Amino acid sequence: MVMNTTPKGALRGQTTYAGGSTLLATTQRQFERAAAVLGIDEAIVERLRHCDRQIIVSVPVKMDSGRWEHFVGYRVQHSNARGPYKGGLRFHPHVDLAEIEALAALMTWKCALLDVPFGGAKGGIQVDPSRLSEGELERLTREYVRRLLPNIGEYLDIPAPDVNTSEKEMAWFADEAGRTLMRPVPGIVTGKPLDSGGNVGRKEATGRGLGTVVLELLRRLGKDHLTAGIAIQGYGNVGRQTALFLAEQGCRIVAISDISGGIYQARGLDIDDIERHLRENPGSLLDSYHAPGIERIDNQRLLRLPVDVLIPAALENQITPEVAQTTEAKSIVEGANGPTTLDAQDLLVERGIVVVPDILANAGGVFGSYIEWLANTTGSEWSLERTREAIRTSMLRAFNNVWDRATEKNGNLDLRAAAYEIALERVVAAMNARYC
């Protein structure tokens, strides 16, 4: 059943974002390609083309000035064929329904590919959080929770952090849900602080999983990870944790960037020194970092550098056909969700540039969330070492499955097509078991 819950006036002042529509079209076309290859029954294809539920809410917030503002919030639940809905919550001024719908579908395929018993969902609020005070941000988060209930729950739909949200917002989320339901519900959200039921390895999970995939890809391609050049677009949690992990392994990271721009050094950046600078200067960006020999570059230059591995870990739609035609990267590992448009993907395959898709590359966070949810709902204990090894094992198993599927097709290394096919097979099998 598809439900669109739209309160009167909720869309007032809403803006549209072309990127969301592009991402949705790309996601749908990739899914339809996989369905055609697998010969999936059209009735099932039609069900998966649409989300189970689209929830749009007005989120009124009393600002510090005393005036009231209304923000638009979304929660899209794509499919729960394999388990409870699961997906992040982002705060961003460009959030729109198309973007959230696409990201919810990506979560369905990501969970299935990693063989985690969750379905796919995504949420967001159309807001620039940098313009809100701490108190306004907390009131916004708590009101959003109240508006979503009872459409979320420990065994129904479990949000997590995403763009511009962190363990702080997740702690508010869990607390407000517990207050409203009048009982503790730590498993209703993942990515919480340790003292609120979080997991010790959750914050680093996406980055370490991504780094694990990078190392395995280099090994498969016959590249020495100690000498291979790596560039990372985006230095938020995913990009940062990936850089830290790869630096620990001795990798040569030649470029990183954030919203202030990028820095490049062919012989390799000193990630430890960069981290020291950022710790000593809270709130600072990469444009404030200075060291001998570094070159200032913009994000477009970073995407075209002659590197062995390019990691787009910012927002969607960064690898356009123009970038795909001109990049000198030998391979791409997607840290962000939907950073490559479908037309760009086709060009990259034609050029022989190997792309590890988002639903595989950044799925370590999903497994980390699964571990936290298990601990919250069953009382099981997970040490940092056990968490790291479980994520590593899961990521390598998924990577090997995708690589083997792709190479079976006359050596065609279209890893995205292979990943979607494996994920779709698993979702369809669950649907057949439940509904037919």
The set of catalytic residues is 122
Coil, strand, or helix at residue 354? strand
Q: Which residues contact 206 (CB under 8 A, 6 or more apart)?
A: 237, 238, 241, 242, 335, 362, 364, 365, 368
Residues in the chain: 436
Count of other CB atoms within 10 angstroms of residue 308: 22
What is the rounded distance in angstroms from the CA atom of residue 221 to the CA atom of residue 223? 6
Q: Which residue has the tokens 């790309």?
A: 26
> Which H or E element spans position 210?
helix 202-220
Count of other CB atoms within 10 angstroms of residue 416: 26
Closest CA to 371 of 359, 356, 362, 383: 383
Closest CA to 388 of 359, 409, 360, 367: 367
> Which H or E element spans position 217?
helix 202-220
294 burial class (0-12, 13-18, 19+ CB within 10 angstroms)?
middle
CA count, 13 A, side-chain hemisphere, 305? 30
Q: What is the 3-state secondary structure (H, E, C) of 67-110?
A: CEEEEEEEEEEEECCCCCEEEEEEEECCCCHHHHHHHHHHHHHH
DSSP string for 151-177: S-BTTTEEEEE-TT--HHHHHHHHHHH
Q: What is the dihedral of CA 265, 270, 276, 279, to 10 degrees?
A: 50
Q: Which amino acid is at 30?
A: Q
- Helices 97-113 and 364-378 pack at an angle, to 10 degrees, of 80
Closest CA to 407 of 337, 348, 354, 341: 354
What is the rounded distance in angstroms from the CA atom of residue 193 to the CA atom of residue 174? 11
